[in-house]
């Protein structure tokens, strides 16, 4: 029996996630959206690409959560995107209401699913989903650090004129301007970039990483990034479905790790068939730890708008 992956939200991120899922043949796909006809049309279009790309899956679009019943993984992209000049925090109330409805239906129809959230403001929405669903923290995961780390890797490769395949980066903390890129743990062919680049160039990479989403929003004028966010999400889905035990930076609920409690925050985790199988606590300098706590403070200010 094939895995079943439901994607809630058939906008650019959700539909592109469905595309990556099909190309990788990770499982049957259910694409759900409130707009009548849109998920059905995108699903049919994607299904018809199968004979060309040689993937063979069931792909359906729906406006009904009943079609998601029994999902192994539910990816949540539903919500309003950021617009130019809008912060992620501006989205708390509106997207919070959407997440409440989504999680109610996820728990009703797929109580054993692992849930991956992409909706912004990410850390706050993961916290809300955890609280309203009652699901164990191992099965509520936010996609942020994989995307932010991918952006940093791209900028490192551009700066050093090397293959992105030679790069590795760790970006922890909240998914916003106070994210915490860690140059000491970011490498090219195993060599820390602190040994390859002067401090000013490293700081330029760090700053561009922090502003990566906003840079794309400004360029597009309308809408936000969708190729990289959806690809990052599918990397997490693949790690879980294939039980890869892959260590990736993800937003998870913390219970004392890194000195933080009752908050969803980006840290390195081991992803496998049970979802979050281990939270990896790495050694941080005083400056890095202080940056992590500043990032946490910013998330808590966003959480203050929630009613949970």
The residues annotated with a catalytic role in the active site are 175
Cα 142 off chain centre by: 5
Of 252, 249, 248, 278, residue with least CA distance to 264: 252
Contact (Cβ atoms closer than 8 angstroms) between residue 60 and residue 32 = no
Cis peptide before 257 (omega within 30 of 0): no
Contact (Cβ atoms closer than 8 angstroms) between residue 250 and residue 290 = no
Which DSSP helix (H) or strand (E) runs through 233? helix 227-241
Please name every residue paired with 62 in a beta bridge, in sequence order, or none if there are none.
32
Half-sphere exposure of 228 (CA within 13 A, CB side): 16
Work out the angle at residue 49's Cα, subtended by the Cα atoms of residues 47 and 51, and round it to the nearest 5 degrees.
95
Residue with tokens 């892959």: 246
Cβ contacts of 187-194, under 8 Å, gap ≥ 24:
188/156, 188/160, 188/162, 189/162, 193/156, 193/160
DSSP string, 87-127: -GGGGHHHHHHHHHHHHHHHHHH-TT-EEEE-PSSHHHHHH
Residues found in the chain: 308
Contact (Cβ atoms closer than 8 angstroms) between residue 109 and residue 64 = no
Of 240, 308, 252, residue with least CA distance to 281: 252
């Amino acid at each position: 029996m094939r895995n079943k992956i439901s994607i809630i939200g058939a906008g650019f991120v959700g539909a592109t996630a469905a595309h990556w899922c099909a190309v990788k043949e990770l499982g049957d796909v259910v694409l759900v959206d409130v707009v009548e006809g849109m998920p059905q049309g995108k699903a049919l279009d994607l299904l018809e690409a199968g004979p060309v790309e040689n993937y063979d899956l069931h792909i359906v679009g729906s406006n009904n959560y009943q079609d998601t019943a029994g999902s192994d993984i539910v990816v949540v992209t539903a919500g309003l995107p950021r617009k130019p000049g809008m912060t992620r925090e501006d989205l708390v109330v509106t997207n919070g209401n959407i997440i409440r409805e989504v999680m109610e239906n996820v728990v009703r129809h797929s109580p054993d699913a692992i849930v991956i959230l992409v909706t912004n403001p990410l850390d706050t929405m993961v916290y809300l989903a955890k609280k309203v669903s009652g699901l164990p923290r191992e099965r509520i995961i936010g996609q942020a650090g994989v995307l932010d780390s991918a952006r940093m890797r791209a900028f490192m490769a551009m700066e050093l004129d090397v293959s992105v395949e030679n790069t590795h980066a760790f970006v922890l903390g909240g998914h916003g301007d106070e994210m915490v890129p860690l140059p000491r743990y970011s490498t090219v062919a195993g060599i820390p970039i602190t040994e390859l680049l002067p401090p000013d160039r490293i700081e330029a990479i760090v700053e561009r990483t922090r502003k990566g989403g906003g840079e794309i929003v400004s360029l597009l004028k309308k809408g936000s990034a969708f190729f990289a966010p959806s690809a990052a999400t599918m990397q997490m889905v693949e790690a879980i479905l294939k039980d890869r035990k892959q260590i990736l930076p993800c937003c998870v609920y913390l219970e004392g790790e890194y000195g933080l409690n009752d908050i969803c925050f980006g840290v390195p985790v081991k992803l496998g068939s049970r979802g979050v199988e281990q939270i990896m606590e790495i050694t941080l300098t005083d400056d890095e730890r202080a940056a992590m706590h500043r990032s946490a403070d910013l998330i808590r200010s966003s959480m203050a708008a929630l009613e949970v």
